[in-house]
Chain A
Amino acid sequence: MSSTRQAAILSSTVSIGCVLVSIGWGCQRERPAAQTDTSSAALPLWFVDATSDWGLDFVHQAGPTGGYFMPQIMGSGLAVLDFDNDGRWDLYFVQNGGPSSGQPNRLYRQLPDGRFADVTSGSGLDVTGYGMGVAVGDANNDGWVDVVVTEYGRTRLFQNRGDGTFREIPQAFTSPLWATSAAFVDYDRDGWLDLVVTNYVAYDPARVCYGSRGQPDYCHPVNFDGTVTRLYRNVSFRQPEHVQFEDVTQASGLGRLAGPGLGVICADFDGDGWPDIFVANDSHRNHLWINQRDGTFREEAILRGVAYNVMGQAEAGMGIALGDVDGNGLFDLFVTHLTEETHTLWLQSPQGRFADRTARLGLHRSRYRGTGFGTVMVDVDQDGWLDIAVANGRVTRHPAALPSVAPDQFFVPYQERNQLFWNKGQGEFQDVSLANPALCDQPGVWRGLVAADLDNDGVPELIVTSIAGPARIFRNVAAARGSSLQLRLLTRDGRRDAYGAELWVEAAGRRWYRLLQPAGSYLCSGDPRIHVGLGTLTAIDRLVVRWPDGQYEQFPGGPVPAIRLCRQGSGTPLPNYR
């Protein structure tokens, strides 16, 4: 055998060995050759990992591994909330180790020095279960936020006592479905926040699924029936000291169509001033429930172009972000999907009609791919254009993973990297993941993702959860940040955030359009304030708000950067604006 051959065989053996070792010990990262792009050095560094600076020590408990219990791989979310009304943002993290895990969900209170202290014990939110998502809203208009936790097999309601603790309302919801994302929305515009809960599949835990190589793995949702999204009408007006909901799923029409729902967002999709409901379904066409203004909804996803991608294919919808990425004054819709698919962006134009423009806007040219879950649109560099962040992590083992790994490495074959897309203007995106290693170069099975200005400095941080891993806080350190405006929009009595309010900011001949809706992303509830990046501007001309009851008001402009508060009734009424 020639030395050339010997060398070749030796090197190939070493290479294969290295490949296998790297696969087995932690890579699972899809690194195409093209990603060795030297130009990444010129791209913006936006985030650093500041988890320990904030004193956050949350580690997600996923329960026993090896049984491939499907709720485990769907992960859990988090909420940003001010549960004690001290003006500082607190955090609530959901666990899914199971009812007998002894690992309750965790509540962290932010201390005056900005660090987080674990105050779970005795909070009333210290419950265990196969926890999935969380929604936050003041359900009885008493000025204290209440909490809804979704689980595999039930949905739970916790009323804020107003003393820093919560009490669970037993049997508030009786649905045994596998609940995932939830959102508070005042769909009937009666001034009380109603609740939408998406449900996933009619999962049978006794079912064992296998990958093509014959190894056991988590099941694909197509193995089970999808289930309906539930709508609960808030009837707490009957007795405000007790939060109460009525199941109107059937009466509203939402009970007529089932789907494997994972993500939900509530916004006015057709411009009539009434909130609609978009549900991202996993491997099934999406649903868009258009509010008929009489307590019922009509499903119009196909007609309005958001049921499928550009090829007419139903993709595996997970997380959702909504925002005006191209500055045309209309919301656009972004939904995360599987590695094999694309994360898809539908542009809205004209009003109420959407078209998949993922490729045209450059989002298909990512440096690497991933199975996306949590996602947010946030103007990280405050240049006036919404950027997009995506939390990724597989749901089935990476095909190149070794068939068996050590128990403490169980989730390694599911790890992927997060992604960050910079909006260069008018919705043209560039992948800046490689320039942001803190956020994007840590392999994990990432799930929940929210943006929140935790330190009230006017600039949002990102908070991410991962399966069986620590939650992370990424501080925004964008160097060439523009100015910004951060607004809190409150209801007429000033007691709660006006979920569903829409905002227009006018300055220097341009308009920014934003929505107040903390629910979205995946299994999460974020900062209820609106953040608007304004680039080089130093002042705004005026603000216009459409309140959830459909009334318009304008508020005077002023210098920026600023953090402002607008209460309904304190502005100048406008007959119309759009």
Chain B
Amino acid sequence: MILIKRVIFIVMMASVCAFLWLAQEQQNLDQGTTGAPAHAQAGHQAPDFSAETFSAEPFDLTDQLGQKGTVLYFWTSWCPYCQASSEAMEEAHQTFSDEVNIVGVNATMHDRQSEAESFISQNELTFKNILDEDGIISRNYYAPPVPATIFIDQHGMITYRKTGAISYPELESEIRSLVKEEE
């Protein structure tokens, strides 16, 4: 029993020492790198993409960043959760359009463009909406499931991700966090 206790204690101490050393190495690495790799989760750089809006204007995520944060909202026309969230998204756009960009991404590969266009007009969405015809953006951001809402700060870092319907208070809270960070 004493031997087992000693072995456990030695392994514990060795692990702590190894991780303290690794933390030091990490600090040196962080000083020499440009940031976290791109991945669609909080704490990582948002994967970059280019696409076209429904009105055939070119869209590039990088162009949106720099001055203010961006909220990416993945949706499809057949999804009732997206229907439930769209009103809140439009309200947030009306309230915070000076502070953040709200960009809808239609997962067109899982939808029909004509129905997506009807969805936009029925829900009176005035924020920018883009088409993801080949599904690359959706795949990189792990959507569907939809709706998926991704909050990106002005430096391109994802601060929060919500899968499922999002209410206005939640949108407001996360947008205010983004704006606070920018200040």
**A, B bound:** no
Interface residues of B (CB under 8 A from A): none
Interface residues of A (CB under 8 A from B): none
